[in-house]
Structure formats: C-alpha cells, structure tokens
Structure 1
Amino acid sequence: MGFFFGRPRQLGVAVIFSVIIFVIFQFVYTDDFALTGHLTESIQIVDACSPDALEDVHNARPPLDPVIPNIVHQLWKTTDISDYSTIITASCESWKAMLEPSNYTVKLWTDDDVLKLIKADYTWMLSTYEGYPHDIQRADVARLLIVHSEGGIYSDLDVSPKSAERIRCLQRLRFQAIFSPTAGTLGLSNHFFMARPRSPFLEWALHEAKRRSSRLASRGILLPYLQVFWSTGPIMVTAAFRQYAWLYNTPRPDIGLLNDGFIGSVVQHAAGRSWQGVDGRALNYIADQAGLGLIFGAVACFSAVAGLIFMATRYNTRAPR
C-alpha cells in the first residue's frame, strides 16, 4: 500500500488525471457537427409506416414507382460467406426469402466488385479507398458508393429483415435517403440505410469521408475503434448530415432517420461486429446497455483504474525489498 502515500501517491493521481484527459480527448476529437445535440430539428424522424399512410401513393395514376429501387446490397470479401462469423449466420438468405418473392434483387458485392465500380465511376475516391489501413473503412465507404451508384437498400450481414411491408412502405415515402439511428436520435448509423440513386446527400458524405482521410493522422486518435467511427463510420455520416443541413440552412425533410423504437419492427440487428478489437467491443457493450452518454464516464473510470494498476505494478517492482 506504500504506493498510495507520498510521492508515489502524487504520481498516481497525475497518471489518473492524464489518462482521463486522454480518453476524453479521444472522444472529443470529433467536431461540433457530430456531437451537437439531437437531430430532431434538422431531420425527419420516421416513427411509423403503414399501408394506410401510403394511400395517396397507391392510388396515384399512373402508379408511382418507389423512389428507392427494389434491390438489397450487402458486402463481403468474396462470394464465400461461410467464414463470415462463427456466432451468427449471414443474413443473405433471410433477405432473399422475404423479399425476392416481391420482385426484389439481393446482391452480394465482393472486394473485387467494389474496386471495379470505383475504377469505372469514382476514380476520385480510388486513392482514398486503397489508402485506408482498416478493411472496415473500405467497407464503410463501399456501401455509400454502391447505394449512391445504384440506389436501393444497404444491409450489413448481421442485419435481417423483419417486415417486408414496412420496408416497401419506407421506400415509397419519397425520401432521398433513410438511415437507421445510433444512440436514440443522436446520430445516423450505416449498418442499415436506403437511398435513391445519385442521392445528393450520399455524394456529400463520400466527399466528407475523403476529406477526413487526409486529416486522420493529424487528429491524434489512437483507439482504432474511434479512428474508424470518425473517418468513415457513424460519426462521419452524422457530421456529414449536419454539415449538409447547415449548408442549406434548412431542415432536411427529404432525409429520414428511423426512430429507435420503430426500427426494431423493420429489421433486426445482431451486431456481429467482427471487425472490432477489444476497445470497440467494450465501448459497444457499454453503449448497448446504458447509452452513448455513459461511455465517457465508464471509459474514464476504466482507464483510470488501468493506469493506477499499471503504475502500482511498476512501483512495486522497482521498490527496494
């Protein structure tokens, strides 16, 4: 216990304080666009969708085609998804079983397919795409490119459909894009979303991802999980939307955000998170159980304890016997 008295005690306090400051900095690396309150004032919250709400669309003459095409896009390294996960089953077949009878196409994109698309139509993103250090960053950008190019629905392999009727309903709400939520209505997630072809917002988000790729090294983000979220993941998408709405100085009624209580009736998210390391799994568990707001305190406490234990161990090892 001698570590907690005298100079070692002061050193321990300094370590704890430094670690807490470091962790808080790692979260506050994101700019004001990503963390400024809820989105309810600038985006259309979608908390219901039923055939009754679409009566005017169904009765239109001539009949209106869905703004968002009947195609579901998914991503994997190759066409062999048997090695996707040992815990959950990839959702390709569940999408096919539910939607193909209603004239939908379910398309699995491979790394080679994405690279061909970029070289053909998005050469300005090629160097950025190839320069990412993490595969998940390429996957994050790939989903935006694919849906921007062809329109339709994007679903992670750990997301399964629950209601074909609600999915069809969402497609016909005349939005240019609809996103799943993260942390209530605090942000936009990219594990499930849909958009019309050439969505202006998706193009904006792609340019924001490219801009952030050149700034990542200078941001001082050391946790890989946060590097991904800031550069290509939900934090980037949320910040891109806030910038997009701010640029036009108006709420965006053409972009929808699914209510946290409603999305569970549309899709089920098993949260495979196969790409995440220990840092990501720990933070996600806290977020799932208690909400994003408690991550700050929890991480600070965990980091402080870890720092204290580390310093105590070093001191006890070096102390004369």
Structure 2
Amino acid sequence: MQKIPKIIHQIWSGVDGPLPKEFKTLGETWKRDYPDWEYCYWDNKKMIEFVKSEYPEHWYVYQKYPFNVQRWDAIRYLILEKIGGMYVDFDYESMRSMEEILDNKTCCFSLEKDAGGLFRVFNNAMMMSTPNHPFMHKIVKFVFSRTTLIPQYTSKNLTIFNTTGPYALIRLYETLTPTEKQDVYLIPAHFVSPFTGLEAEEIRLGVENQELEDCLDDAYAVHYYVSNWAKTNN
C-alpha cells in the first residue's frame, strides 16, 4: 500500500499582506512535531509556477476564479494530487504528531465538531493524501470544471463553499460508493477539531474555560477558525 508522503504543505500567497506573526508561530509547531518531514511553504509565485508547469490544462479556470480564496482552495488539491503529503492551514496548531493515526491511511480529512444532520461535515483546512488518489482526482476534476465559473450563488461565501470549499467536498464524498468511502478516512473531530468555531474564538480571546481545556486531552491538532479570507473583498 502506498503511504502518505512525509511532507507538510502550507500556503500563504502574500497577496493580502505578509504572513502574520501568530500564523508563523503556529506554522513552527508543525516543524517541531514532524522533524523528519519535509516542510514546503507555498507563496503566490510558487503556486502560479506549479499550475502552469504541472497543470497547464487547469490554468484558465485557476486564473478566472472571481475570488482569490478559490485559487488558494484549488491549489491545495493540485498539490496533494501531484505530490501528496499533508496540507494544513496556518490557523491550525499541532499539539503532537498524528503519525500513529495516519498509518495505513491514503486519504484523510478532518471532521468538524458537532456535525449534526444528514451529512458528516469536514473541511479542507487539513487534508492528507497519497499522490494520484482517486478521491483527490475527483475533487480536482470538479473544482476545475468550467461550471464552477458560472455565477450561481448569492454571496461570496456561498460561491466559495460550493465551488472549491467544504460544501463541494462533502457533496463529492456523498457520491462515493461504500467501498470508495472506506478509502477516505474522516479523522474524528476530537483528534483534530476539538473546538467549534465559537469555542475557538473564546480560546483566541483568552477566555478561561476548563471544559474547553479538557477538549485538548485527545487532540493531535487544533483548528482556530481564524478565516482571514472572509474579511477580504477578493
């Protein structure tokens, strides 16, 4: 069985400003806890060169997305399909290595806490994959279809979520057969997303809450849901 390559990818385009100090600090936690993994930082120049050289057939859609965050979503799927490894957003903190739970896994996504309803909710803030994984290929095929450029939604958020973001991923996952789903590991939230968005905001504001502190007992990583992209116009 092909293993997930030991390489961590993080992207920060620099288009909306330099990498904030707090994100740089969080990025260092991944280097600390995965010392034998390669660490790859992707800026805008490197992302553009990668698409043009490795996926020229997708360049038209990539540069036609109306919002930059769609590009930053889409590039992470290309990176994982071509190179493989772990992609993680800069608002994620590593608490300890999760290599033990990645053993014998080929494609992983992090479930979000308190995901109720019919569908299991996961996002693209943390993903792992072997190169050329069938589900990652399915994602790339959809994300770079020209239908994603057709105006269909009433807001920036809905456009992003449904074309390159979590809603698109969840819909694609639900089209998989039971056998195909077995090859996509949805990491339990208490391991990688122990807080909801509102709870994460409390933590960021320094609110003391023992119940929230206890949520960290099993955590390998923590998502802080900073969502800088939602605050920009591009």
Report the TM-score when normalising by structure 1. Answer: 0.58
Q: Does the alignment pair 1:169 with 2:105?
A: no
- C-alpha displacement at 1:277, in angstroms? 3.7
Return the letter of the residue paired with 2:5: P
Task: Please report the RMSD computed on the Cα atoms of aligned residues, expressed in angstroms.
Answer: 2.5
Report the counterpart of residue 214 of structure 2 in structure 1: none
Determine which of 146, 161, 170 is the counterpart of 1:238: 170
The C-alpha deviation readout for 1:100-153, integer Å capped at 9, x for no partner, is 2xx111110111111222122211211110001111100000111111111100
- C-alpha displacement at 1:238, in angstroms? 1.1
Q: Does the alignment pair 1:270 with 2:201?
A: no
Q: Percent identity at matched positions?
A: 22
- C-alpha displacement at 1:155, in angstroms? 0.5
Contact 1:89 1:158 (8 Å CA) reproduced: yes
SS at match of 2:23: coil
Determine which of 21, 40, 57 is the counterpart of 1:124: 57
Return the letter of the residue paired with 2:161: F
Q: Cα distance 1:170–1:124, how it changes in 2: closer, same or farther (>3 A)?
A: farther
- C-alpha displacement at 1:89, in angstroms? 2.9
SS at match of 2:184: strand
Query: 2 CA distance for matches of 1:218 and 1:115?
Result: 24
Q: Does the alignment pair 1:69 with 2:5?
A: yes
Q: Does the alignment pair 1:144 with 2:67?
A: no
Contact 1:92 1:106 (8 Å CA) reproduced: no
Query: 2 CA distance for matches of 1:75 and 1:275?
Result: 13
Determine which of 135, 157, 165 is the counterpart of 1:201: 135
- C-alpha displacement at 1:97, in angstroms? 1.9
Query: 1 CA distance for matches of 2:129 and 2:87?
Result: 9
Query: 2 CA distance for matches of 1:152 and 1:94?
Result: 17
Contact 2:64 2:149 (8 Å CA) reproduced: no
Q: Cα distance 1:73–1:191, how it changes in 2: closer, same or farther (>3 A)?
A: same
SS at match of 2:110: strand
Q: Does the alignment pair 1:160 with 2:96?
A: no
Report the counterpart of residue 83 of structure 1 in structure 2: 18
Structure number with higher relative contact order (C-alpha < 8 Å, ≥ 6 residues apart): 1
Query: 2 CA distance for matches of 1:169 and 1:97?
Result: 16
Contact 1:225 1:277 (8 Å CA) reproduced: no
Query: 2 CA distance for matches of 1:169 and 1:210?
Result: 33
Matches within 5 A, 1:4-23: none
Determine which of 139, 159, 179 is the counterpart of 1:227: 159
Gaps of 5+ in 1: 1-63, 279-321
Contact 2:7 2:38 (8 Å CA) reproduced: yes
SS at match of 1:197: coil
Gaps of 5+ in 2: 195-218
Query: 2 CA distance for matches of 1:241 and 1:251?
Result: 9
Q: Cα distance 1:104–1:205, how it changes in 2: closer, same or farther (>3 A)?
A: same
Determine which of 184, 201, 205 is the counterpart of 1:255: 184
Contact 1:148 1:198 (8 Å CA) reproduced: yes
Query: 2 CA distance for matches of 1:276 and 1:242?
Result: 26
Contact 1:73 1:108 (8 Å CA) reproduced: yes
Return the letter of the residue paired with 2:12: W
Return the letter of the residue paired with 2:37: Y
- C-alpha displacement at 1:81, in angstroms? 10
**Which of 1 and 2 has greater Rg?**
1
Report the counterpart of residue 201 of structure 2 in structure 1: none
Q: Does the alignment pair 1:96 with 2:31?
A: yes
Q: Cα distance 1:175–1:97, how it changes in 2: closer, same or farther (>3 A)?
A: closer
Query: 1 CA distance for matches of 2:154 and 2:181?
Result: 34
More helix as a share of residues: 1
Query: 2 CA distance for matches of 1:81 and 1:195?
Result: 28
Contact 1:188 1:257 (8 Å CA) reproduced: yes
Return the letter of the residue paired with 1:191: A
